[in-house]
Structure 1
Amino acid sequence: MNFLEFAKKYDTPLYVYDFNHFEKQYNELKQAFKARKSIIAYAIKANSNLSVIKKFASLGSGADCVSIGEVKRALLAGVDKYKIIFSGVGKRDDEIKEALDKDILMLNVESEAELKRIDEIAKSMNKEARISIRVNPDIDPKTHPYISTGLSENKFGVDIESAKKMYIYAKKSKNLNPIGIHFHIGSQLTELNPIKEASEIVANLVRSLKAINIDIKFFDIGGGLGIKYKDEDTIKPYDYAQAILSTLSGLDVTIICEPGRFLVGNGGWFLTKVLYEKINGDKRFVIVDGAMNDLIRPSLYNAYHKVEVISSVKNPQISKANIVGPVCESGDFFAKDIEVPQTNPGDLIVIHSAGAYGFTMSSNYNTRPRPCEIAIEDGKDRVIRRRETFEDLIACEIDYLI
């Protein structure tokens, strides 16, 4: 990757995505599940750029969506409607209605109250709502507490006994069709045993449901496969698939897998330019033109991202520094106390592993326009989202200015 060329051509801050990497990751995961019917449903929340979604749709991907906006993005980008799942703990009535109108594969139900609301809405529309229920297997995923979702203390899903009652209710309803079951214990998973244990619990629930003539057709294992940010031992897709498959003996189900970070995380970089350096006492700061509003993971999770300095003038002097941005918050940083060479204004800082939960979690805090996004595919670069302007930022306000 010629990051200096991209920075010169498109300016900074800038997101760069390697579409060939995305395709490689998708094919590796799809191949891992070749022994079974499967749908790889890209988790749009990881990177919701329409061109990214379109790339995965062209490979045959489905979509895991957590808002009606993401459902619309998936359809607009060419994802088959029967490969789209609508998840999320808080769906509004209008979102449920629109999802039913768009006839997507299924709505993923997170509570008894939601199940009954979907039933009422489907009845009022004289439609059948295809649903799955998110089961919380109460398994510790061994990941960051902010991205853990499979414990009883988390807001997601329902326990096994509640799920059974909900499936029985759905079976009796004229407007609900319970075709799937779902679990997802967390994100950035690097240990296989919790995943296998959760799958065993949910597979046994499917067997008990089939015994009372509730025919589950889709076994949704969620996503969460971790990637290497620093020195993590990650799970190989083949081992992941084999662990899941080993729990499904005797079950004729289509596996749905919902990867996001695994597909796009290490295929993205965030480029930001050095403005100047600053010394406060014995503390060194490298101040750059990117900020927490562009890439919030370090501030939000204290997440590690590899930092690379690209300079036109090689400087052998190396010392610890904080890489910080212009936003008016003490939490505005990309890295703290890392060893980096002395920098000059205009030097390039490359933040690695920024393809997932980078731009998609960005904001306009401090009235900062969001960066340009570019795609690299087969050696060619192109803009897939132009840099925002000040006029973009005020477009929804200007007509109301008194």
Structure 2
Amino acid sequence: MPMSETFKDRLFPVLKDITKHFGTPFHIYDEIGIRETGQLLIDGFSEMKGFREYFAVKALPNPRILEIMRDMGFGFDCSSIAELLLSRQTGARGEDLMFTSNNTSIEEFQVAGAEGGGILNLDDITLIPKVPEMPALICFRYNPGPRCDGNEIIGDPAESKYGVSHEQVTDAYRMARDLGAKRFGLHTMVVSNELNYIYKVQVTRLVLEVAERVTKELGIKFEFINMGGGLGIPYKPEDSPLDLHTMAAEITELFNQFKKRNGYMPKLYLESGRYMTGPHGALVVKAINQKDIYRKYIGVDACMSALMRPALYGAYHHISVLGKDSQQDTEIVDVVGSLCENNDKFAIQRTLPKTEEGDILIIHDTGAHGHAMGFNYNGKLRPKELLLRTDGSVELIRREETVDDYFATLSFEPNTMMPGKA
């Protein structure tokens, strides 16, 4: 169940005009789809007072996309200085920002605390004395270790580098409180791209139990529980979508039960990235070559520097050929780029309509962790980004990289030192 029929209906009829005007390759994002998904989250958790989505900036760090999120009332989940600065460009300040990093540097702490600060979510108990000034509101990322299975994508929490251990969590809050923290949040994220909502419900139950234990041991109350991201999208046609409605209802009930036992209810925060934008983006490329050796290859004008998920994870991304019936006159091909790496493949032994040079291919579900995970190995340059706006117009929201960009960091003032000499 890749890109929705409504996205196709908006995009495919005008795609030839778009490619003629902008050229290929490019990522294009659907504003209507993004806004509709945001509203689904809001409606799903409408009974949770104070519910808020903090968009995971790492999924799609483009200012125009962040402006859409801001317009919907969302905050931002940031994990780097650049992501903080991008989010602040939208006007986000203070508790609009959730800063979750790991192996955090002093510089990162300083930027996170500047311009009104944000919610500091510490990844490790050893970071507590490294915070330049303990903020009034503090949060810790909790790692349940063997108490939770995680899922097949993110792996065993006991092997994860992230978070405070179960045994450390009470001490972490005690130390932060003794250093001046007066308000508290609790965070976790132990699944990724999960389509079975039961995982999220189970983890929510576990985290609420931890919050209840800390409340009893230290007498503190939690203002919010941040359940992170991890909501999955159906990349394959045969995949069933996440049952958001049932998940939201069961999580809401867990919070209601917590209130009955403890006399208060924390707010619920989520940090959805992939779920918000993943299905609402596509990488549009052109077939520029065909090769027949031991198998048939369709070479396109983009490579894994524009979408590395298939190479990195073996991930499936559905592919359409513009104007051709997917059921007729098909062939089995690999769809490949021009990088000097044999895993530079968007599809392996995929059944596609017979493709000719000049055909336009649409690679689905690239609205998250697509352009954002790009790189410049082999001197390859990342493509432009476009936004299909609600009025049907198409806006350039990031130009393509140029050779001048690639060489920009080689322009600097000479700087040489002799080790061992003052």
Bin the TM-score by the shorter chain: over 0.9
Instruction: Please point out which of 369, 375, 390 is paired with 1:363.
Output: 375
Residues 157-208 of structure 1: CA distance to partner in whole angstroms, max 9, x if unpaired? Answer: 122221111111112123x345100011121011122222211121112122
Inter-partner Cα distance in structure 2 for 1:140 and 1:103: 38
Residues 23-58 of structure 1: CA distance to partner in whole angstroms, max 9, x if unpaired? Answer: 000011011111122111100011001100111101
User: Is the contact between residue 288 and residue 300 of structure 2 (CA under 8 Å) also seen in structure 1?
Assistant: yes
- Matching residue of 1:133: 140
Inter-partner Cα distance in structure 1 for 2:314 and 2:219: 48
Gap change, CA 1:87 and 1:311, over 3 Å in 2: same
TM-score by length of 1: 0.92
Give, in angstroms, the shift of residue 263 of structure 1: 0.6
User: Is the contact between residue 93 and residue 118 of structure 2 (CA under 8 Å) also seen in structure 1?
Assistant: no
What residue ranges of structure 2 are gaps of 5+ in the alignment? 1-10, 416-422
Q: Secondary structure at the match of 2:171?
A: helix
Give, in angstroms, the shift of residue 245 of structure 1: 1.8
Gap change, CA 1:30 and 1:316, over 3 Å in 2: closer
Gap change, CA 1:246 and 1:313, over 3 Å in 2: closer
- Matching residue of 2:185: 180
What residue ranges of structure 1 are gaps of 5+ in the alignment? none
Inter-partner Cα distance in structure 1 for 2:247 and 2:327: 44
- Matching residue of 1:201: 206
Aligned-partner residue type, residue 159 of structure 2: E
Matched, 1:239 2:229: no
Instruction: Please point out which of 36, 58, 73 is paired with 1:24.
Output: 36
Gap change, CA 1:315 and 1:193, over 3 Å in 2: closer
Instruction: Please point out which of 10, 14, 33 is paired with 2:45.
Output: 33
Q: Secondary structure at the match of 1:246?
A: helix
Instruction: Please point out which of 139, 151, 159 is paired with 1:153.
Output: 159
Aligned-partner residue type, residue 54 of structure 2: A
- Matching residue of 1:6: 18
Inter-partner Cα distance in structure 2 for 1:57 and 1:44: 12
Instruction: Please point out which of 291, 303, 328 is paired with 2:315.
Output: 303
- Matching residue of 1:257: 270
Matched, 1:15 2:20: no
Give, in angstroms, the shift of residue 314 of structure 1: 11
TM-score by length of 2: 0.88
- Matching residue of 1:107: 120
Inter-partner Cα distance in structure 1 for 2:94 and 2:393: 31
User: Is the contact between residue 315 and residue 343 of structure 1 (CA under 8 Å) also seen in structure 2?
Assistant: no
Give, in angstroms, the shift of residue 313 of structure 1: 11
Instruction: Please point out which of 273, 276, 281 is paired with 2:286.
Output: 273
| Alignment of structure 1 residues 52-131 onto 2, 5 Å | 52-118=65-131, 121-122=132-133, 128=135, 130-131=137-138
User: Is the contact between residue 187 and residue 228 of structure 2 (CA under 8 Å) also seen in structure 1?
Assistant: yes
Give, in angstroms, the shift of residue 270 of structure 1: 0.1
Q: Root-mean-square deviation (CA), in Å?
A: 2.0
Gap change, CA 1:389 and 1:256, over 3 Å in 2: same
Give, in angstroms, the shift of residue 155 of structure 1: 1.0
**Identity rate, percent:** 27
User: Is the contact between residue 198 and residue 247 of structure 2 (CA under 8 Å) also seen in structure 1?
Assistant: no
Instruction: Please point out which of 135, 140, 151 is paired with 1:142.
Output: 151
User: Is the contact between residue 197 and residue 244 of structure 2 (CA under 8 Å) also seen in structure 1?
Assistant: no
| Alignment of structure 1 residues 210-225 onto 2, 5 Å | 210-211=215-216, 212-225=218-231
User: Is the contact between residue 273 and residue 346 of structure 1 (CA under 8 Å) also seen in structure 2?
Assistant: yes
Inter-partner Cα distance in structure 2 for 1:262 and 1:41: 12
Give, in angstroms, the shift of residue 3 of structure 1: 2.2
Inter-partner Cα distance in structure 2 for 1:314 and 1:57: 38
Inter-partner Cα distance in structure 1 for 2:368 and 2:395: 19
Give, in angstroms, the shift of residue 341 of structure 1: 2.7
